[in-house]
Chains A and B, each alone.
Chain A
Amino acid sequence: MSTETTFLARVKSSDLWYSFTRHRTAQGAALLLLILVLTAVFAPWITPQNPFDPAQLELWNSELPPIWMEDGQWPFILGTDNQGRDILSAILYGSRMSILIGVGTVVLSLFVGIGLGLIAGFFGGWVDNALMRFGDVLLSVPTILIAMLVSAVARAALPDHLKDVGAGFVLILALSLSAWVQYARTVRAQTAVERGKEYVQAARLLKVPARRIMFNHILPNTMTPILVAATLNFGMAILSEATLSFLGIGMPPSQPSLGTLIRFGNQYLFSGMWWMVIFPVLQLCLLVVSVNLLGDWLRDALNPKLR
């Protein structure tokens, strides 16, 4: 019996899988998210052009409406912008960037939040106080404001040749700066409960080092609420990133995210090219809604009190 089959068998026999098979909304959301992620990841192989390679753009294709309208043209299903850029391709490339930044933010803030939360909850005392009050301070300032501050500073500080490359990393850093606090609080609360339980005392009797008690014993028992928070925050991170990009302090035009696309589209809204803004907005909505629906289902499915 290989580990793979046992893992599959465990997934199939789990309560979570059972709940999933009975939950239409979760299935729909998962399917939608799967499609969105796959099309975004494989965008370079399925789109007719790389919309951000100027050499592939033809000016005579510019300002074409979606294909079902009078002047629509194959292969520009959702029309083109003022430079002849295929909107659908731009959206898929943009989703790619948005998802990347969303995942990056969740991973970084999870890493920091879980680590600091474990330390605060396990050791308690002044370490706990210092870390949690620092988190409180960060939370008392709106996320967007912190992110704006960080990206503005980074923009000024980074040398020119790093600006475009580093923009994504700066955004991830900026968004993670306040996102970790929520994980840290959740993990800390759970850790403080688990720390007093007898199985931790049993490990202490064996002189198991604190680091191993934290990671091997306590961490697995704090993961359920973290999983839910991470899913919901993934949607939040994508939205925050879109907000920053819309305001012009997020991703640069050379590697746009959905927010950047919406900003451009917004500028051309009054010249009648509604498809430049509506479709990126729709994509953003679908992405966030599917993530949030999944997160809601997960929260209910993992909460034994709601069964």
Chain B
Amino acid sequence: MTRPFALRVRNLSRKFDVSAPWLNRVVERKPKQYVMAVDDVSFDVPKGGCLSLVGESGCGKSTVARLVTGLYPPSNGSLEFTPDINGAPLSAQMIFQDPYASLNPRWKVRDIIAEPLRELKLRETEEEILARVAELLTTVGLSPNDGGKFPHEFSGGQRQRISIARALATEPRFLVCDEPTSALDVSVQAQILNLMRRLQDEMGLTYLFISHDLSVVRHMSDRIAVMYLGRIVEEAETETLFANPRHPYTQLLMQTIPNIEHPKRAREVTTGEVPSPLNPPKGCAFHPRCPLADARCSAERPAVLTLKDGNRVACHRVEEAEGDSARELTGPNSLSA
């Protein structure tokens, strides 16, 4: 990994207090309860590239997104943005999942997109602000006249375009996309993804892309990190991951992708559900569902191994098979060779 990184995340953790109210705890003698939504996560996002986080609902990918943008403070670990050429720290903006909740229904589109300009005083006069809004609307494929409308007058895809325009208003170098297409029709998904690819090329944007949809992720990303119960279980180059998934959980995810050539192929069905993050399994979090699990898996949590090809995986079986060629991740800096 010699490419310069835009964001370096080390040992990031986030704990949420999900305890019952104080009175209930006293009366029912319950202890405080915490959820490790994100547990010791490390990754690099290459500059101008796209790293995707994939995983099932509740695996902590959206929490990572909110930690990266600063909406939540981390409980532990560090986030390091590379400063841009001018020495100014990169600012992360976000594209949200639900285009029906991410735009204030009482605001005109013009004001929604102008908000960053006004709040951060990026433009001086009202004319400059309106000109910039018109420019942004055009950039995302809408008409400057759309600024006078309210969000409810737009379709889901158009709303997501507005959301992108708002994120671009601050001229960010880094965009966190939290499932930006999961609320959209498949045909509209493609339009939005292509728009995002185009913007990435034109503006040199770096994406941290969150999704549960592997085909979307494959289209968008350079690298993919697979998350399970708050931890990264495998991280690899996109094509390597699809060609040769190493972690049993990644293999399970690959099994779930529909294949247009073999629509009725026999699939290995993995039983069980994601365990409750309130009470995660001991050892490897995936062992109750893993076809390869043995006694060691239920006792010892696998460390994240960096393999020869620079990809990383956290699994005892992989370690045993490729152990000699693998190098254990020891310190926070061993990610970058």
Contact = CB atoms under 8 A, between A and B. Distances in A.
For A204, A206, A208, A217, which residue has the most chain B Cβ atoms within 10 angstroms? A206
Nearest to A209: B119
Contacts of B97: 198
B101 A203 contact: no
Given A197-B101, A198-B96, A201-B96, A206 B119 contact: yes
B102 A199 contact: yes
A203 B106 contact: no
B96 A202 contact: yes
B105 A202 contact: no
B96 A207 contact: no
Interface in B59-106: 66, 69-71, 92-94, 96-98, 101-106
A204 B102 CA distance: 12
B146 interface: no
B310 interface: no
Contacts of B96: 198, 201-202
B98 A208 contact: no
A11 to B, nearest CB: 15
B98 A198 contact: yes
B158 to A, nearest CB: 16
B245 interface: no
Contacts of A159: none
B94 A202 contact: yes
Contacts of A206: 115-116, 119-120, 170
Contacts of B92: 205
Given A207-B119, A208-B119, A220 B106 contact: yes
Interface in B23-75: 66, 69-71
A221 interface: yes
Contacts of A207: 119-120
Contacts of A199: 101-104
Interface in A191-237: 197-199, 201-208, 217, 220-221
A88 B232 CA distance: 81
B287 interface: no
Contacts of B316: none
B166 interface: yes
A201 B104 CA distance: 11
Chain A interface size range: 10 to 19
A205 B102 contact: no
Contact of A217 (B69, B93, B104, B116): B104
Nearest to B178: A198
Contacts of B101: 197-199
A201 B94 contact: yes
Nearest to B120: A206
B105 A221 contact: yes
A206 B121 CA distance: 11
Contacts of B106: 220-221
A203 B115 contact: yes
A221 B151 CA distance: 14
Nearest to A196: B101
B91 to A, nearest CB: 9
Nearest to B102: A198
Interface in B96-140: 96-98, 101-107, 115-116, 119-120
Interface string B144-183: 0000000000000000000100100010000000000000
Contacts of B115: 203, 206, 208
Contacts of B66: 201
A221 B104 contact: yes
B156 to A, nearest CB: 14
Contacts of A197: 101-102
Contact of A205 (B70, B98, B105, B107): B70
Nearest to B166: A202
Nearest to A218: B104
A114 to B, nearest CB: 15
26 contacts: A197-B101, A197-B102, A198-B96, A199-B101, A199-B102, A199-B103, A199-B104, A201-B71, A201-B94, A201-B102, A202-B94, A202-B166, A203-B115, A205-B69, A205-B70, A205-B71, A206-B116, A206-B119, A206-B120, A206-B170, A208-B119, A217-B104, A217-B107, A220-B106, A221-B105, A221-B106
> Which 5 A/B pairs are nearest by Cβ-Cβ distance?
A198-B102, A198-B96, A220-B106, A199-B104, A197-B101
Interface of B: 66, 69-71, 92-94, 96-98, 101-107, 115-116, 119-120, 163, 166, 170
Given A197-B102, A198-B101, A203-B115, 14 more contacts: A197-B101, A201-B71, A201-B94, A201-B102, A202-B94, A202-B96, A202-B163, A202-B166, A205-B71, A205-B92, A206-B119, A206-B170, A208-B115, A221-B105
